[in-house]
Structure 1
Amino acid sequence: MADAADVLNLPLPHVLNLLSSGVLPFHKVGGDRRVSVSALMAYKLAFEQRRSAALETLAAQAQALQMGYE
């Protein structure tokens, strides 16, 4: 799971929460949890898209309020 946390650039406890909540699918091999590369990359892409949309919204609000970010 530490590798998944590194790929996502997230703290390990947050990744474990994503797994336990079902947001990030995994399967067990023995006592270990395994996440497929495709699931990891799909989550990362969706996260980046949400992040970009939020930044665009904030930038538009800043411009509308003439906050000097032109």
Structure 2
Amino acid sequence: MVISIPKKLTEKDQKFAKDAVGTLKSITTGTKTQAPVIFQVEGNSISVPRKAVLLLEKVLDEMADGRTVQITSFSKEMSTQEAADLLMVSRPHLVKLLETGKIPYKKVGAHRRVLLEDVRKYDITLRKTRRKTLDKLAREAQEMGLGY
């Protein structure tokens, strides 16, 4: 499921978002408890999990800055296309990662299924490797006096 906030936000929407994020931050940073947050709306109470409130806070913060927001949900087990979309690579590239053992998978009939946790682990590992490589290249460039 993909949820998108409209690309064009009005200044009024941005102001409301900025005010709301300020209020939410005072609620979330003021307490250490993981208890749900209770909102009162037109005489009705709604209990919202704290993690959902933190997500809402981040969405409103982006909206306040006029940025587009997109939220995507994934199942614990996903198709190769969903996993490829999450990693922002092509499906054939993802299949190569699976077949070379870089990301574990299982077969369900003729289809490959990948666990979200495994895709995230691969992504984190890849990001760390890239960061180390870039740091090494930057050090070498500085040592060689290339102006980086």
- 1:67 maps to a residue whose letter is L
Q: SS at 2:102's partner residue? A: coil
Q: Please say if 1:35 is aligned against 2:127.
A: no
More helix by share: 1
Q: SS at 1:66's partner residue? A: coil
Separation in 2 of the partners of 1:64 and 1:10? 34
Cα deviation for residue 30 of structure 1 reads 2.1
Cα deviation for residue 31 of structure 1 reads 1.6
**Unaligned stretches of 5+ residues in structure 1:** none
Separation in 2 of the partners of 1:66 and 1:58? 12
What value does the CA root-mean-square deviation take over the aligned residues?
1.0
- 1:10-50 Cα shifts (integer Å, max 9, x gaps): 22222111111222100112221110011000000000000
After superposition, where does 1:1-70 map in structure 2 within 5 Å? 1-69=80-148
Separation in 1 of the partners of 2:137 and 2:119? 27
TM-score normalised by length of structure 1: 0.89
Identity of paired residues, percent? 36
Separation in 1 of the partners of 2:121 and 2:146? 35
- 1:4 maps to a residue whose letter is A
Segments of 4+ in structure 1 off by > 4 A? none
More strand by share: 2
**Unaligned stretches of 5+ residues in structure 2:** 1-79
Structure possessing the higher radius of gyration over alpha carbons: 2
- 1:68 maps to a residue whose letter is G
**Aligned pairs, number:** 69
Cα deviation for residue 59 of structure 1 reads 0.5
- 1:66 maps to a residue whose letter is G
